[in-house]
Amino acid sequence: MTIYICGDSTAASYGPEKAPITGWGQVLGEFLPGVNIVNHAMAGRSSKSFLAEGRLIPVEKALQPGDLLLIQFTHNDRSDLTWRHTDPNGSFRNTLSIFVDTARIHGAIPVLMTPIPLRQWEEGELVDTHGAYVPAIRQLAMEKNVPLLDVNAAGMEALREIGEEAAKPYYMHFEAGVYPAYANGSKDDVHTQLPGAMLYARITADLLKAQGLT
């Protein structure tokens, strides 16, 4: 069995020159030893632009019966840019359905995933910033009888336990001059450093195992 990942920057793999940014898909293998993982996630892509650029084509050509296709989008689907934006209850569901149907045509198992949460607190409370997209993913999973990994829910629970300030090193928060690729430092609450990537990779692996998918 091979696990293929289709997603955005939060799942993508990065070279050492981009340190310390790390996507959860880059380290998923740490929690699934012996499983072949092929990460096609790409920064800046929505479900719509990923398809428009033909990025599903090499995945489709490689899929074999029994493989898993992990599908995780949302961050860039919320973009105001027409070529990336999708409507959560319209085109977003339609594009996700293409990933699902493609996997099934080839005998693979599609797995829908909710996005990782942002590190965003308001008045001492962690807030979900994804709007209608997360419920749309959950609803589509039920309608199409697709396994769902609710990483957003599990991740928010984990962040609440970690706490607002303690969660900063999980995301791209650091001072200027620490990393060559970020000379001015970073205060990014979307993308993860290694601790955050490991957290969401572990959650993903645990949810896969709990559903008997690995």
Contact present, 149 and 208 (Cβ < 8 Å): yes
- State the first-to-last Cα distance of the chain, in angstroms, to the nearest integer: 9
Helix (H) or strand (E) holding 36: strand 36-39
Contact present, 116 and 155 (Cβ < 8 Å): yes
Look at residue 159 in the predicted model and tell me its pLDDT. 98
Helix (H) or strand (E) holding 159: helix 151-162
The one catalytic residue in 30, 53, 157, 175 is: 175
For the question of residue 30 being annotated catalytic, the response is: no
| pLDDT (average), residues 51-75 | 98
The one catalytic residue in 9, 46, 49, 186 is: 9
Could you tell me the pTM of the whole model? 0.97
For the question of residue 143 being annotated catalytic, the response is: no
Cα–Cα distance for residue pair 109/147, rounded to 1 Å: 8
| pLDDT (average), residues 38-66 | 98
Cα–Cα distance for residue pair 1/166, rounded to 1 Å: 37
pLDDT in tens, 136-182: 999 999 999 999 999 999 999 999 999 999 999 999 999 999 999 99
For the question of residue 191 being annotated catalytic, the response is: yes
pLDDT in tens, 76-114: 999 999 999 999 999 999 999 999 999 999 999 999 999
Contact present, 153 and 126 (Cβ < 8 Å): no
Residue 139, both tokens: 């609803």
